[in-house]
Amino acid sequence: MPLFERVTIIGVGLIGGSLGMALRGRALAGEVVGVTRVPETIAAARARGAIDRGTVDPVEGVDGADLVVLATPPDLVVPMARRALPHLRAGALVTDVASVKAEIVRAIEALLRPGSRVAFLGGHPMAGNEGRGIAAAAASLFEGAVYLLTPTPRTPADACERLTGLARALGARPVAMDPEAHDRAVAVVSHLPYLVAAALVGICGSAGNAAGPAFLGATRVAGSPVEMWAQICRLNREPIQGALRAFREELARLEAALADGDGFDALLERARRARLRLRERSQPAGRPARGAREDG
């Protein structure tokens, strides 16, 4: 039995398209409706098996949906919610997939009319690839991925249950945290590493001739579309500045220890243990570790 009768995905790009493919492939939705900005995307999304039908009209698209997923670029999530919310049926659940949460969650909760019986719960699947758009979508994108959910005191308990169930059904690992904690956490584990990768390639110059798979792996994310990342960084500026400060201090500690030889190995050993704990926590049993190269 499908988890939802009709799921409307607004923005059928990499994440929205992958979600549609996964929902349809796993029979989790009776029907998947796609809302796109350009009409051509409808045919492409249908061809990829991401949607059953599509429209460029969000109002028409959300009609009768019991789940609406806002999967537009981050800066369009709130405007699209504003457009769609008045047309949702009672009992409908709304979520988004944006990488930044506090501001978006606050804005959308402010749009919810008391008594409308429409619920919102912010979401952020930690999945993606180097591509963009429906062409890069993949039904397997969420398998093994962390799926962050950001409830607030206003979130109904059954909204949490339904989206937790959906994340699990997609093969993802749901993790709940409040929107502010989310933004601080992704500043550290996603946005900071992006800026660090950009800085690493920014200084490599002719040293790039010596670059092996480890450097390519460490800097891979710096090759992804700037538009999306710049927008994310601006939306999450303050938590990112906090993460940069902590990172700078930690790197300075390592540098000082290297210079005077004191405690250098102990700092590295602490990092090694932290990395091993991370790995145990993040890799579900049976999920193959990717081949790794270290030196190079």
From the list 53, 58, 99, 65, the residue with the least C-alpha distance to 81 is 58
CA angle 97, 13, 105 (to 5 degrees): 20
Within residues 6-65, the interface with a second copy by CB under 8 A covers: none
Instruction: Evaluate whether 221 touches 194 at the Cβ level (below 8 Å).
Output: yes
From the list 10, 127, 116, 149, the residue with the least C-alpha distance to 69 is 10
x/- site string to a second copy, residues 200 to 219, per CB under 8 A?
xxxxxxxxxxxxxxxxxxxx
Terminal Cα distance for the chain, rounded: 49
| Residue closer to a second copy, measured from CB, 2 or 217 | 217
Burial (CB count <10 Å: 0-12, 13-18, 19+), residue 193: middle
Q: How far is the CB of 159 from a second copy (least distance, A)?
A: 20
Q: How far is the CB of 104 from a second copy (least distance, A)?
A: 16
x/- site string to a second copy, residues 75 to 104, per CB under 8 A?
------------------------x-----
| Residue closer to a second copy, measured from CB, 205 or 286 | 205
Beta strands (DSSP E) in the chain are 4-10, 29-35, 53-55, 67-70, 93-96, 119-120, 122-125, 146-150, 173-176
Give the tokens for residue 190: 């996603």
In the 8-state DSSP scheme, what is residue 37? Answer: S
**β 146-150/4-10 pair status:** unpaired
Within residues 261-290, the interface with a second copy by CB under 8 A covers: 261, 264-265, 267-272, 274-279, 281-283, 290
Within residues 100-159, the interface with a second copy by CB under 8 A covers: 125-130, 144-146, 148
| Residue closer to a second copy, measured from CB, 29 or 104 | 104
Q: Does 256 bind a second copy (CB under 8 A)?
A: no
Q: How far is the CB of 16 from a second copy (least distance, A)?
A: 14
| Residue closer to a second copy, measured from CB, 91 or 225 | 225
Stretch that binds a second copy, among 25-33, 55-63, 157-165, 199-207 (CB under 8 A): 199-207
Give the tokens for residue 227: 């538009």
Residue from 59, 168, 230, 262 touching a second copy (CB under 8 A): that is: 230
Neighbours of 159 (CB within 10 A): 19
Size of residue set near a second copy by CB under 8 A: 99
